[in-house]
Amino acid sequence: MGVDAKTNDTDRKRVRLVNFISAWTIFIFFLYALDYYYIGVMYVAVESTVGVFGYCVPLWLNYRRKYNAACHFHCIFNLVFYLFMGVANGGIDGVEYILVLSSIVPMLFFRQFYIYFTYSFLNYAAFVFCKLSHKFIKPLFYFDGYGNIYNSNHFVLFSVLFLIVYYFKMENRRQEKVLEQNNDRISLEKRKSDGLLLNILPFETAEELKTTGKAKTKYFKEATVLFTDFHNFTKMAESMHPEELVARINEYFSRFDRIIEQYNLEKIKTIGDAYMAVGGIPAENDHHPNDVVSAALEMASVVQELKEESIQNGSLYFEMRAGIHTGPLVAGIVGTKKFAYDVWGDTVNVASRMESSGVVGKINISHTTYERVKEYFHCSFRGKLEAKNKGTIDMYFVDGTVESKINRLPKVLHEIPSAFQPAINNTDSK
Residue 343 has pLDDT above 60, yes or no: yes
106 and 219 in a single domain? The answer is no
In a domain, 104, yes or no: yes
Q: Which residues contact 244 (CB under 8 A, 6 or more apart)?
A: none
Greatest CA separation for the chain: 124
Mean pLDDT of the 28-37 span? 86
Distance CA 263, CA 278 (A): 11
Q: With a cut of 60, say whether residue 423 has pLDDT above it.
A: no
The more confidently predicted of residues 268 and 217 is: 268
The bridge status of strand 391-401 relative to strand 342-344 is unpaired
395 and 305 assigned to the same domain: yes
> Which residue from 331, 324, 291 is spatially nearest to 201, judged by alpha carbons?
331
Does 257 lie in the same domain as 115? no
Residue 65 confidence (pLDDT) above 60: yes
Claim to verify: residue 215 and residue 83 sit in the same structural domain = no
Q: Within a domain: residue 47?
A: yes
Q: Quick one: 64 and 30 in the same domain?
A: yes
pLDDT tens, position by position, 166-209: 777 777 788 888 888 888 888 888 888 777 766 777 777 777 77
Instruction: Report the alpha-carbon distance of residue 169 to residue 182 in Å, rounded.
Output: 19
Q: Alpha carbon 403 to chain centroid distance?
A: 48
Contact predicate 13/111, CB 8 Å: no
| 260/145 same-domain check | no
210-240 confidence digits (pLDDT tens):
777 677 888 999 999 999 999 888 888 888 8
* 189 in a structural domain: no
* Overall average pLDDT of the 109-136 stretch: 88
Tell me: pLDDT of 411 over 50: no
Instruction: Tell whether 315 is covered by a domain.
Output: yes
Distances (CA, A) of 15 to 10, 29, 110, 178: 9, 21, 12, 18
Distance between CA atoms of residues 272 and 280, nearest Å: 25
Neighbours of 263 (CB within 10 A): 21
Q: Quick one: which of 248, 239, 219, 392 has its CA closest to 309? A: 248
**pLDDT at site 24:** 84
Structurally, the chain folds into a number of domains equal to 2
81-95 burial: b if 16+ Cβ within 10 Å, else e: bbbbbbbbbbbebbb
The DSSP result for 25-45, as a single string, is: HHHHHHHHHHHHHHHT-HHHH
One domain, residues 157 and 232 = no
The percentage of residues in the chain with a pLDDT greater than 90, rounded to a whole number, is 38
Residues 348-380: tens digit of each pLDDT = 999 999 999 999 999 999 999 999 999 999 999
What is the sign, positive or negative, of the torsion defined by CA atoms of 301, 306, 311, 313? positive
> Residue 404 falls within a domain, yes or no?
yes
The answer to whether residue 413 scores a pLDDT higher than 80 is no
| Co-location of 143 and 213 in the same domain | no
How many whole angstroms separate alpha carbon 406 and alpha carbon 404? 6
Asked whether residue 429 is domain-assigned, the answer is: no
Residue pair 379/399 in contact by the 8 Å Cβ criterion? yes
Query: 430: how many CB neighbours lie within 10 A of its CB?
Result: 12
Select from 345, 221, 378, 363 the least CA-distant residue to 286: 221
Is the distance from CB of 327 to CB of 346 less than 8 angstroms?
A: yes
Mean pLDDT is lowest, of 109-118, 207-216, 297-306, for 207-216
Is 144 found in the same domain as 104? yes
Q: Phi-psi category of 388—alpha, beta or left, where left has phi over 0 and alpha has psi -120 to 50?
A: beta
Is the same domain home to 290 and 225?
A: yes
Buried b (16+ CB within 10 A) or exposed e, 125-163: ebbeebeebbeeeeeebeeeebeebbebbeebbeebeee
Average pLDDT of span 149-168 = 70
The domain spanning residue 270 has which CATH number?
3.30.70.1230
Calculate the average pLDDT of the chain: 83
d(CA 268, CA 225): 10
Direct distance between the N- and C-terminal alpha carbons of the chain, in angstroms, rounded to an integer: 88
- The enclosing H or E element of 400 equals strand 391-401
Which among 104-113, 135-144, 153-162, 347-356 has the top mean pLDDT? 347-356
CA distance 241 to 171: 60
159/224 same-domain check: no
Does residue 99 have a pLDDT over 80? yes
Q: Does residue 196 lie within any of the structural domains?
A: no
Range of the domain at 234: 204-420
- pLDDT-derived band at 38, boundaries 50, 70, 90: confident
Residue 426, domain member (yes or no): no
* pLDDT for the residue numbered 354: 94
pLDDT number for residue 345? 94
pLDDT of residue 146: 56
> How far apart are the C-alpha atoms of 122 and 386, rounded to whole Å?
98
Same domain, yes or no: 233 and 103: no
* pLDDT higher than threshold 80 for residue 426: no
H helix and E strand count, the chain:
13, 8
- Choose between 211 and 57: higher pLDDT: 57
Distance (Å, whole) CA 143 – CA 11: 43
In this prediction, residue 148 carries a pLDDT of 60
CA distance 35 to 43: 12
